[in-house]
């Protein structure tokens, strides 16, 4: 009779272990889905910030070149949000997450004689570390500055180099290379105005 009691206890514990393992597997799958979704959100946020920086740069350049066209640019940006423009985009399929019903494992019946209960090792997944805040990208990069400098006339680039206290001799490219770390986009516009 003792052997039957032990066999019943063993089966009861084995069932509790299987149930707990199934719950752990479901929770780990749910955790993986949430982490993947979090990564997607971070990617979208970075893309949006980059797009905003590009729009800011385009607005600044347009304001310098032809401020009367700002309304046209605004209309073009707003058109991107129109239903016709977005209609071709495939929305993400809504993720159907099925939350597992948490159930407490059944505790074995106390035995008539003291037994050593088996330990159930459960690996606890650590929470993902919070993502580092995304720094906004500068609206004008060194490459943008160098490109603007290379478009300037040789007379204007030499005047700007003189105003910034750097050597005015050489080709437009060599002067631009020296100036790119010294000037801002506003300096370039002021020099060409």
pLDDT for 12 equals: 94
pLDDT per position as a tens digit, 64-92: 888 888 888 888 888 777 665 555 556 55
C-alpha 111: how far from chain center? 55
pLDDT for 138 equals: 46
Q: Is it the case that residue 137 has pLDDT exceeding 50?
A: no
Q: Is it the case that residue 173 has pLDDT exceeding 80?
A: yes
pLDDT for 97 equals: 54
Q: Is it the case that residue 19 has pLDDT exceeding 90?
A: yes
Higher pLDDT among residues 41 and 106, named by residue: 41
Domain positions in the chain are 1-87+118-138, 140-193
Please provide the average confidence, as pLDDT, over all residues in the chain. 76
User: How much of the chain, in percent, has pLDDT values that exceed 70?
Assistant: 67
Q: Is it the case that residue 131 has pLDDT exceeding 70?
A: no
Q: Is it the case that residue 159 has pLDDT exceeding 80?
A: yes
* CB neighbourhood size of 26 (10 A): 15
pLDDT for 120 equals: 52
Q: Retrieve residue 151's tokens.
A: 């478009």
Write out 153-183 in H/E/C secondary structure: CHHHHHHHHHHCCCCCCCCHHHHHHHHCCCC
pLDDT grade for 178, boundaries at 50, 70 and 90: confident
> Do the Cβ atoms of 191 and 156 come closer than 8 Å?
yes
Residue 184 to residue 161: CA distance in whole angstroms: 13
| Most confidently predicted of 42-46, 84-88, 122-126 | 42-46
């Amino acid at each position: 009779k003792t052997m039957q009691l032990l066999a019943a206890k063993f089966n009861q514990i084995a069932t509790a272990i299987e149930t707990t393992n199934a719950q752990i597997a479901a929770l780990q799958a749910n955790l993986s889905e949430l982490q993947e979704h979090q990564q997607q959100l971070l990617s979208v946020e970075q893309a949006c910030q980059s797009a905003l920086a590009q729009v800011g740069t385009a607005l600044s350049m347009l304001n310098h070149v032809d401020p009367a066209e700002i309304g046209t640019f605004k209309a073009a940006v707003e058109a991107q949000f129109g239903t016709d423009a977005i209609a071709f985009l495939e929305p993400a399929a809504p993720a159907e997450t099925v939350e597992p019903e948490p159930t407490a494992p059944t505790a074995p019946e106390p035995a008539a004689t003291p037994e050593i209960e088996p330990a159930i090792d459960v690996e606890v997944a650590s929470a993902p570390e919070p993502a580092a805040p995304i720094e906004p990208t500068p609206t004008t990069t060194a490459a943008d500055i160098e490109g603007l400098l290379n478009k300037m006339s040789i007379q204007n680039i030499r005047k700007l180099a003189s105003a910034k206290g750097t050597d005015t001799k050489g080709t437009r490219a060599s002067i631009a290379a020296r100036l790119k770390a010294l000037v801002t986009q506003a300096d370039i516009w002021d020099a060409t105005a």
